[in-house]
Chains A and B, each alone.
Chain A
Amino acid sequence: MLARRFGDFATAEDAVQEALLAAATQWPAEGLPDNPRGWLVQVAYRRMIELVRGEAARRDREDRAARRGGDDRRTAPAADEPLTADRDDTLVLLFLCCHPTLSTPSAIALTLRAVGGLSTAEIARAFLVPEATMAQRISRAKQRIRSSGLPFRMPAEDERQARLAAVLHVLYLIFTEGHTASLGDDLRRVDLSEEAIRLTRAMHALLPDDSEVAGLLALMLLTEARAAARTGASGELISLAEQDRSRWDAAAIAEGTALVTRAMARGPVGPYQLQAAIAALHDEAPTAERTDWPQILALYGVLDRLTGSPVVSLNRAVATAMVHGPAAGLAALEALAADPRLTEHHRLDAARAHLHEMAGDRDAAARHYRAAAGRTTSRPEHDYLLMRAARLASGG
């Protein structure tokens, strides 16, 4: 809200931080004000004016005055003024943090800091980098927003969809980053997957009619529902087929399934809804054998046409094998192998290995599992693939 009134994101954020600090010291002693939110806004507002005035003394006043506009912006709102603009402001902030001019790591860091409200130290710890490095990443992102002169307002209708896609992509990356194995300090790290779900839930509340926002939230819930079963006692990966399904989170599955069902009925259907629908079919299967693979294959077909993503084509080939047998799947994979985006990708070899194993060709399967292990940059995946190869080689 402050950022919107003043058009200055970085200073507004500092002002809000100081208001929160004031609240933390005053409220315990003096008791909670009647309207805590209004109180915070008012304190932040006064601080913002001080900051802006101090700034203006140093900088070119005329330039600022020209951009600032009417006098009403210098009047603090009453503490009990209803904050009708809140909803839009959160959205505008998200659009700004995920702006395409920012690099992806910067967009992620800024979103967690400015929208998620995490401290720089928490974000640094979550990504296992020093706090000074993360602080630089955030301040450079703010600098970039400032120097590019991006206005603090809702993107125009014609670019809204593209900008929304960028926001959803950033939220999705935060979610998957949460699956990174860390070196024994889980308790001190923020759970990025939970954080991504929280942010996407907030976004869904702001845009309840957007089917892709609902689809992304559903995808996250339906994936996170399997989290407890995904790794074993020593952190090793357990494949979907071998997971203990009784450990899946039934409430999350029910919520995710209901969300994606409603979203797809309303449409328009997009990639996140399709991926969520596929996740729902996996989650609803009582056993791996009873998975509705024909339905999954059909959904991958639509997703493939919609995205043209090579990784989707790869998953489609695996689904083909589950419906029409490993030979059909392997033939589909060979057709993909020439794609330069896939030739060096460990998942091509992992998929080949899996289908050769299905077909009973243990040597070829072991060879491809080893090749995939050599190419992945994920430690748990590497260990899993190597173990699969070793099991085949030793006749296990």
Chain B
Amino acid sequence: MKTLSTRDLKRNAILWVIIALSVTTIPHFIDMPAILIPITLVPIAWRLLAEFRNWKPMPLIFRVFATVVAVSVLVVTYGGLMGRRAAVSLLVMMLALKLLETFSIRDARIVASLCLFLCATQFLFSQRFAMVFYIVACLLSTLIALMYLHRQEAYLPIHEAPDTGRSMFTELGFGLRLLLLAFPIGLTMFLLFPRWSSPLWGVPEAALDARSGLSNSMTPGSIQNLFMDDSPAFRATFQGSVPNNVFMYWRGPVFWDFDGQTWQSSYLSRNLPAETKPSLADAQFRYEIQMEPTEQHWIFALDYPAMVPKGTRLTMDYQLVSRRSITQLRIYPMASDPAFQDSPELKNTLLRAALETPVGYNPRTAQMMSEWRAETSSDAEIIRRALAYFNQEEFHYTLNPPLLSRHTVDEFLFETRRGFCEHYASAFTIMMRMAGIPARVVTGYQGGWYSGIGSYVLVRQSDAHAWSEVWIKGTGWTRIDPTAAVAPDRVEQGAMNSLAERRHLLDFEWLMSARNTLDLLQRGWNNWVIAFGADAQSRLFTIFGWGIFDSARLIIAMMSIIMVAGTAIFLLLPFFFRFRAAREQDAVLKLWQKFIRKLEKAGFTAKPSMGPIELGTLAGAQLEFAANRIEQITELYIRCRYSKNTDGREKLTELVRDFKPQTAA
């Protein structure tokens, strides 16, 4: 039977451990399979009830059973234990199950400490600035829990801490003071701990915080979905002048091939490099881009990129494509020359590709375009007429366009006349091709929000846009934005302001501007914390003149430091404990300690503050069968230790050795 002893947890301590665990677990629930959530919540609830109803710990057999069931469910759900999410879910579940047996300070401390670890694992899934709030919440609750636990343990010998009006806040204050002391060490580790430029083991299964972003195909509705997403796509910090919103076309995927429904990039465009490149000297805008991960390969630049960052290439239609998919925050310098002439001459293969239309689709458009072509031979006239058509007919720029079926362009141009930027770009491009003008679709982002405080342009996913480019002999590829003909506001003020309706329930202007302002924090977090990778670290080392430390040398250096420090501590340890060691060398005391250990095995609780006679009397009263022996040993011990006459140690050795209270019991 378990009896209540001082080692049992105080209520406030266990409650704070439960709070800490709950706070830490909540974000994990978002991505855990739903079936695992009740398995996690039940033990927590049980422990809470156990506290208030004074339940005993669960029998071992039941705990083992619960663990087996939980792990089986987990394995079945994930199909194994491989992968980040499965491993972290296992940790969450096991920690919750640990509560079933958490009735002592030691167990509670393990749970609280592992809460900190669990909190750190959340970084495997997200590194956004919002995580800071999560960490702070975890840290505060865990600190309070740990403070309560340690205080209870420190005062174990006297049962209870003297009450000096301590509250949660004083505990927290003390914890924070300790944390402040640890901060320099933490900062040093953050700066100096070896960082690798690529992960040691393979590529992570999914990028951190990756947003779908623009994809490698465009169907009606694809950008419209992005438009609902206000998360940042990238930020651009300009040196010098910031271009007007009207000129801010951030170039992304370029599409050539249309199958009647979907636009796709062409084989040629993916594989041919750019023949000519804008020169850096002509570049009118210079800026630095801080790009959020997308899991795609495109990186973004204003038309036309004059720089090719490391690890990327420039395709013949001036897309910047990264060799590796962007799975983490990426920062690159960029320059753009908007006046650059793109391909004044076009190869025949490309010309053909830019004129191709799917056979058997959109006959009405084809007919209209051939009528227009018959009226004029000027390409410019046709372009103007097409834009005027969008502008003067009853076209609507809307988020809720009707569905289109087979002849998407026909239906859009002559029936529904409601659409989003991709409808216009797609229809316009097909119109041009049918009129014999080479055209292609470009997707990317348009505009952005200029932050006055941070002096940078924030581009969100909702700024995604699609437009057309037509090829005019002599001028080369020229950007035409048909959406601007329908809704000029879209280009001038951004997509949000050009819509009459709200996008969703929480789409308020003040909320949007608050989010824009708060993005400053996210940007700082990115710049100062997330972006501190291998490159930044080696830059830092260069400042200190440690430029020679590449990652391999850094590991060696770290290992050497750890070994030297470890050896030093190992060698110096005896000096730290010199006084204690001297005392422990006292053979009589050692015998006494051995005697106490034997008593404790027999079920007697000795406190360090007990005098030897007091201890002997109490032990004798509890272990009656051995009372005589205990008295004898106690008598001899105090004589050996405290009187002038110290012989009798041999006798004491003998007595203690032969003292076997547990077998007698």
A, B from the same assembly: no
